[in-house]
Structure 1
């Protein structure tokens, strides 16, 4: 799930209050995947309706977004489009991992093993039905949905650069590589969470990561940060074996760019120029519209309760909170005019 250089970057723990009034362009696939992974029964079985359709993501989108909007945030969900052909290897590998996880989950569940939940989470996948359901619910809730031509995080970063969003919401640091000025992590999982495979709970808070701060602290350019990521390994390349963040940083600072680093290592990364270009000049759309609307209570209730068997009482309580929060937001906007 993106490049792993978390140890290299400074992450500032914040609260939702720090994001009051801010529009956050959320990587939709990233958030949905988290909901699909986390919202499960003890044996790993996801929430489902009477027809066997998975609804874990719908539960996460309803309740988490209600919390965010109550906190004064203005979420925008940005959905992936067609992935780059350079990502084919990674997609194939992930599919193989999921297939293996499904088999291990079935075996663990049959044996009553506590590891069932771990394998179940690894088997999570997003399909067209899940994406369509997510978009339908979000629109009924009055939350903008933006369709990216390619990577959602790149489109979200473009919107933040343009000033249409304060930050990108995602767990993946790739958002920084594609130019997001600010990355907010843990938005979808903020709160008290149980550690996987352990009877231990921790408090998870949002984290603020700033591109300029990273570049200033490491004394590098964004182009060099991208080269570091390519050496470590990204969704588009496996990187160089044995090269981690510290070594990659040292090599790029020594040589200035990936070409010299590869020469010293005696290594080769296929299509590194094209990979670099994907990060520095991603495929994005400029003809998007960001507009929040009032929640349609009847449509939300019909969709969740009528079609997906959600509890009417719980959905109505969530809707009361959502509508109240949306009204407060509108009253705040009206004060400016």
Structure 2
């Protein structure tokens, strides 16, 4: 899911890490990992993360570089992995595949032209989360004793649900604005960026625009989601005004003579997504740092220098936090 138009409506403000210390964050694993995967591929030589048999594990470099941000600020991440994908998202997936194929063609041209910078940029855009990336990332997290949850469907939906219903989870963590449509009370954005994160507040967003949750979802559907292309001429402001005037999606569509295929089901995917209570969140982690380092550098042949600083930061955070959280 993803709808950047929602930023124009969302109540968002920068939040100092100091205000978040001691919190548990349900992180949209695919969203988080993909950011670090693409960044690593763009700015790191392939020889650093390619094994002797040609397998690329740039994810391990990215994960080791990204994890310290949580630990250094006293946050416990719970990584939530995507499960099955609804068939309504097939068109979106097909569009992404076609775009990746176009990037691959451009990448070949850039390599033939000897344009290293452009080739690196396009190589990052052709990345996908392969089975090897999934498996090795999960094993690294296991070695570091980082909690993981397998969602039955969309990871961000499960993260939003956990934040809304589980007292042990304080925030969802995702750059995906659809966490707002999914009812996440508070979502931390830009956890993969430099500086402090942004806090996206669900209740403040509804109050600011005098909306119900259902109406906010209707605004999103009018603008377009990964499940529908939206209605021509409707941006965030137009959609907000239309919902304010007519009350809900169906009356807006009737007034405009428009139709949204599977509209009822799309609405339910946001309001009542497929989620699970079958998980355990234990914030008291005991990372096996030496074993994790060996897994990355020995078993998967990642250049030790590329991950040395990341492991040093994790180790330092462990020492600073103390034995209550780390062993």
Q: TM-score, normalised by structure 2?
A: 0.91
Q: Which runs of 5+ in 2 are unaligned?
A: none
Q: CA deviation at 1:280?
A: 0.2
- Do structure 1's residue 319 and structure 2's residue 320 form an aligned pair? no
SS in 2 for 1:40: helix
Q: Deviations over 1:74-127 (max 9, x none)?
A: 111000000111111111111111111111122123223443344333212112
Aligned equivalent of 1:103, options 102, 105, 111: 105
Q: 2: CA distance between counterparts of 1:47 and 1:255?
A: 57
Q: Are the aligned partners of 1:27 and 1:77 in contact in 2 as well (CA < 8 Å)?
A: yes
Q: CA deviation at 1:270?
A: 0.2
Q: Are the aligned partners of 1:43 and 1:116 in contact in 2 as well (CA < 8 Å)?
A: no
Q: CA deviation at 1:315?
A: 4.4
Which residue of structure 2 aligns with residue 305 of structure 1?
297
Q: 2: CA distance between counterparts of 1:176 and 1:53?
A: 37
Which residue of structure 2 aligns with residue 86 of structure 1?
88
Which residue of structure 2 aligns with residue 160 of structure 1?
163
- Report how many residues are paired: 321
- 1:196-275 matches, cutoff 5 A: 204-275=195-266
Q: Are the aligned partners of 2:12 and 2:200 in contact in 1 as well (CA < 8 Å)?
A: yes
SS in 1 for 2:67: helix
Which residue of structure 1 aligns with residue 185 of structure 2?
181
Which residue of structure 1 aligns with residue 153 of structure 2?
150
Q: Which runs of 5+ in 1 are unaligned?
A: 192-203
Q: Are the aligned partners of 1:23 and 1:165 in contact in 2 as well (CA < 8 Å)?
A: yes
Q: Are the aligned partners of 2:286 and 2:325 in contact in 1 as well (CA < 8 Å)?
A: no
Cα-Cα RMSD: 2.2
Aligned equivalent of 2:68, options 63, 66, 69: 66
Q: CA deviation at 1:242?
A: 2.2
Which residue of structure 2 aligns with residue 126 of structure 1?
129
Q: Moved runs in structure 1, 4+ residues, more than 6 A?
A: none
Q: Are the aligned partners of 1:36 and 1:46 in contact in 2 as well (CA < 8 Å)?
A: no
Which residue of structure 2 aligns with residue 138 of structure 1?
141
The change in CA–CA distance for 1:26 and 1:293 in structure 2 (over 3 A counts) is same
Which residue of structure 2 aligns with residue 198 of structure 1?
none
SS in 2 for 1:188: coil
Q: CA deviation at 1:43?
A: 9.2
Which residue of structure 1 aligns with residue 35 of structure 2?
34
Highest RCO, 1 vs 2 (Cα 8 Å, sep ≥ 6): 2
Q: 2: CA distance between counterparts of 1:60 and 1:179?
A: 29
Q: Are the aligned partners of 2:49 and 2:61 in contact in 1 as well (CA < 8 Å)?
A: no
Q: Are the aligned partners of 1:144 and 1:290 in contact in 2 as well (CA < 8 Å)?
A: yes
SS in 2 for 1:11: strand
Q: 1: CA distance between counterparts of 2:61 and 2:313?
A: 15
- Do structure 1's residue 276 and structure 2's residue 274 form an aligned pair? no
Q: CA deviation at 1:306?
A: 0.8
Q: Are the aligned partners of 1:45 and 1:120 in contact in 2 as well (CA < 8 Å)?
A: no
Q: Deviations over 1:18-40 (max 9, x none)?
A: 22111111000001111122112
Q: 2: CA distance between counterparts of 1:296 and 1:304?
A: 12
Q: 2: CA distance between counterparts of 1:266 and 1:187?
A: 42
Q: Deviations over 1:229-276 (max 9, x none)?
A: 011111111111221111111111111100011112211110010000
SS in 1 for 2:11: coil
Q: CA deviation at 1:299?
A: 2.3
Which residue of structure 1 aligns with residue 285 of structure 2?
293
Q: 1: CA distance between counterparts of 2:233 and 2:226?
A: 17
Which residue of structure 1 aligns with residue 25 of structure 2?
24
Q: Are the aligned partners of 1:61 and 1:138 in contact in 2 as well (CA < 8 Å)?
A: no
Q: 1: CA distance between counterparts of 2:188 and 2:10?
A: 13
Q: CA deviation at 1:177?
A: 1.0
